[in-house]
Amino acid sequence: MPAALSVRNLVKSYGSVRAVQDVSFEVPQGSVCGLLGPNGSGKTTTLSCALGLLPFDKGAIEVLGLPAHRIHDTAGRVAVVFDGATLADGLTCRQNLQYARRTLGHAGGRSDDEALQLTGIAELAGRRAGGLSLGQRRRLSIARALIGRPELLVLDEPLSGLDTVGVRAMLQLFTRLHEQGLTVLVSSHRLPEMETILTRAAIIMGGRLLREASLDELLQGQRLRLRVRAAPAPDAVAALARLPGVTVLERRPDDELIVLPGPTSPAAVNAALVAAGCAVSALVPERSTLLSVFESLVDEQRAQGVEVPA
C-alpha cells in the first residue's frame, strides 16, 4: 500500500539559509504520524513544501500518489489546518462550516452535524466563532477541514497555546479520527502529549532529520541513559571516564550526572564507582519516552561535534 505522504531528500533554502536539509520520511495510510521538533526546527517549512505551498530546491514529494505540485488534483482528499487558521468570527460554528462548504465546493462529504459531533463541539453549533475559546476555535477549524471527508489531515502545531483541558480534548479527537481510519500528520513540539496518540514519528532539529520510525521502534531503540549521583563527584567523573564506551553527558549543579553507558551495564557502572571509593546514592535508568529519545538524539549530535541550539 503506497504511503499517504512520501518525502524524499527534501532541501529548502531561504537565500543563504538552509532551512531543511535532506529530510526524508513517510506517512503510512491509516497512521497518526508526528513531525516533531522544537520551534524553528523546520517543521512548518517541511509541511509547506510537502503540500505544494512552497517550491523546494531538491527532493521528491508525493501526496496520495501525486507529486506535491499537483496536490490540487487530489480533489478534497487532503485537508490542512495551519496554526492560526482564520475563522469568520461573526458567523456561528455551523455557518462557518456552511460557508466553507460553498467556498470549497464540498457538495458531499460529512454533514455539518457529523463534523461538529466528531470534533466535540456539537453543542456550540449556534455560537459565534468570535466567542469561542482557543481550544474550541481549533476544533472548529478541524471540523471545517473534515467536511469534505478527506483521507489525509495535516495539522500544524494544533496544541499550541492550549490549556490542559484543551489539550486533552484535542488528543481525544486525534484518537477518534484514527479509529475512523483517517490518516493524520501532525507537527508539534509537545513531545510528551504526542506520545499518547502517535503511531509513527519523524524527529527533526535544525532542519535535519534525526530519526524516523514507528513509535514502538523509537522507544525500544533508545540508547539507555543513567542519572547518577555519587560523591565525591570529581572522583565519580574520573571513574566513569575509565570505563569503555561510557560518556558523561552532563554534570548538573546538584552533582547529578547524566551518563550514556554505551556497552557498559548499569551494574558495572555502579561497581566501578564503588571500587573508586564513591558513595552512590542514586543510579536510575531513564524510562524510554519520546522526550528522552529526543534528548538522546541531541546528545549523539553533540558527541559527534554537531552544533545544536540550546
pLDDT tens digits, 232-247: 999 999 999 999 989 8
Q: Name the stretches of the chain with pLDDT < 70.
A: 1, 84, 221-223, 305-310
Contact 35, 5 (CB under 8 A): no
CATH number of 5-214: 3.40.50.300
Domain boundaries 226-287, CATH class: alpha beta
What is the reported pLDDT for 217? 87
Cβ contacts of residue 55 below 8 Å, gap of 6+? 49
* Residue 146 to residue 46: CA distance in whole angstroms: 22
Domain boundaries, the chain: 5-214, 226-287
The sign one gets for the Cα dihedral 43, 44, 45, 46 is: positive
What is the reported pLDDT for 222? 58
Contact 238, 264 (CB under 8 A): no
* Residue 223 to residue 231: CA distance in whole angstroms: 25
- pTM of the complete model: 0.78
What is the reported pLDDT for 291? 87
What is the reported pLDDT for 183? 96
CA 148 to each of CA 180, 241, 289: distance values in angstroms, whole numbers, following the listed order = 15, 60, 35
In this structure, the chain runs to a length of 310
Other beta carbons within 10 angstroms of residue 309's beta carbon come to 9
